[in-house]
Amino acid sequence: MTRPVRIGFIPLVDAAAVIVAVDKGFATAEGLDVTLVREVSWSNVRDKLNIGLFDAAHLLAPVAIASSLGLGHVKVPIVAPFNLGLNGNAITVSPALHAAIMSELEGDPFDPMATALALARVVAARRKGGAEPLTLGMTFPFSTHNYQLRFWMAAGGVDPDDDVRLVVLPPPYMVDSLANGHVDGFCVGAPWNSVAVDLGVGQILHFVSDILVRAAEKVLAIRQNWSEKNPDAVAALVRAASSAAEFIEQPQNRAEAAHLLAQPERIGVDADVIQRTLDGRLKISPDGTLRESSRYLLVGREGAARPDPVQAAWLYAQMVRWGQASFSPDALKTAKSVFRPDLYDAALGREKGEHAYGPDAVGAFAGPVFDADDIAGHLAAFQIGRRK
């Protein structure tokens, strides 16, 4: 007898472990009958998970934390026993904005501090000339994309609330918004940056791995009360996703994985675009320039699938920095408790501590090494913010 499970997802490559777990049969092998439901917006995924229409979801890591803290919506405690991806986002800008940044650049175009300082000069020139502020898209207020954009811009002296306009757009709508001139750039997950480049309407300025070496992106999110009532199903989901992640990370399987993800009811873009993402070989310019990075998207390798509470602490710190939350030790504890390496380890029969992270589990390009136990020290290092 199989256990029916409904899982919501957004058409993004970092849903790969969930999609491949179902379409390659790993979920069935674990006794699960999974129905995948494709959604267009993160608010839809969150709301349907919270009210029980979904048993689990491919979800933005910060949304799981915000839901558990009752920020921006009703309070529904969430647990994340599996991390669906590290990194995977990129900042893409219009050809016009890219040219403006490059004209002001002093240094390496792949150095985020150099481009942030160049952006500050572009913003100042636009203000002096009476031009409208730049408009940049991100996927949700409680999103890695929001925090990564803000972290990058603020490091160069650009105030993301006063100097530019940040707008929320669902991932599949990013490219059309850039093509129509509604936004000057965006931060989004794969494959939508590559789609913009292939259509000639965007240029990838940065991989998020330029900004943060390790950035928890999406999680397999489950309501806490459902996980407590269904521990065997949770463990089966973790094992199925883990098997899928291991399959995807084998180079000889990438073409098959990309084909599965490319199906219209899954991500619905060309398999070649998806395989380039999985391989970390992205076309960053309409002229065909390629950039390779082994860190563009980590689905399972280097311990990427094991939830790291330090990542949750970093995301909570960004919520405090930008005025979405007030700091409290209890809230920090709650945020960290969303990421559940204990459930991951138990499902896979692994010893605690078998996976060790480095002393700086985040690796941000600016500011001090992140200490999850010193949020105040982290925030004090930055001049720009909206701390309550």
| pLDDT, tens digit (0-9, with 9 covering 90-100), for 315-351 | 999 999 999 999 999 999 999 999 999 999 999 998 7
Q: Can you tell me the distance from the alpha carbon of 164 to that of 101, in angstroms, rounded to the nearest whole number?
A: 15
Q: What local confidence, expressed as pLDDT, does residue 216 receive?
A: 96
- My answer on whether omega of the bond before 191 falls inside 30° of 0, hence cis, is yes
Residues 236, 32: Cα–Cα separation, whole Å: 7
Q: What is the pLDDT of residues 57-109, one digit of tens each?
A: 999 999 999 999 999 888 999 999 999 999 999 999 999 999 999 999 999 99
3-state secondary structure 185-208: EEEEECCHHHHHHHCCCCEEEEEH
User: What's the predicted TM-score (pTM) here?
Assistant: 0.95
Q: Which two tokens stand for residue 79?
A: 């647990």
* Domains detected in the chain: 3-86+216-268+299-306+324-355 (3.40.190.10)
SS3 79: strand
What is the helix (H) or strand (E) element at residue 111, kind and residue range?
Answer: none
The CA distance from 53 to 19, in Å, is 18
Q: Are 276 and 329 in contact (CB under 8 A)?
A: no
Average pLDDT estimate for 16-21: 98
At residue 369, the pLDDT reads 92
Please report, as a single letter, which amino acid is at residue 74. Answer: V
Q: 40 φ, ψ to 5°?
A: -105, -25
Distance in angstroms (rounded) separating the CA atoms of residues 79 and 56 = 10
> pLDDT for 158-197, tens place per residue?
999 999 999 999 888 999 999 999 999 999 998 899 999 9
